[in-house]
């Protein structure tokens, strides 16, 4: 019996950026509604779990959280975070 395994489409930079934006929007709502407007000290782990739920298990959640927590606050955090993730996931 032959099994056909469908491969997952290749992850792209745009996929990561879109997933980060979605995580940001969802996390903002979480901070407002669940935390009463208090900043979440565990935001990086939250983002990592959300991101991996969107793009698949491309890395360990703890690694993704660590990479995200090291992103410098910049004028475009999502772009900076996308660059960090692409570098660590070896995406071009």
Predicted TM-score (pTM) of the model is 0.84
Q: Tens-digit pLDDT profile for the chain (92 aa)? A: 555 544 456 899 999 999 999 999 999 999 999 999 999 999 999 999 999 999 999 999 999 999 999 998 778 999 999 999 999 999 87
20-55 b/e with 16+ CB inside 10 Å = b?
beebbeebeeebeeeeeeeeeeebbbbbbebbbeeb
Q: What 8-state DSSP symbol labels residue 48? A: H
State residue 8's pLDDT score. 52
Q: What 8-state DSSP symbol labels residue 29? A: H
State residue 75's pLDDT score. 84
Is 63:85 a contact under the CB 8 Å cutoff? no
State residue 10's pLDDT score. 87
């Amino acid at each position: 019996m032959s099994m056909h395994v469908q491969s997952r489409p290749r992850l792209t930079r745009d996929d990561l950026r879109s997933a980060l934006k979605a995580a940001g929007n969802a996390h903002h709502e979480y901070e407002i509604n669940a935390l009463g407007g208090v900043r979440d000290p565990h935001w990086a782990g939250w983002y990592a779990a959300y991101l991996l739920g969107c793009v698949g298990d491309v890395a360990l959640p703890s690694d993704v959280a660590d990479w995200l927590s090291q992103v410098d606050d910049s004028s475009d955090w999502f772009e900076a975070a996308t660059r960090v993730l692409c570098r660590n996931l070896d995406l071009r």
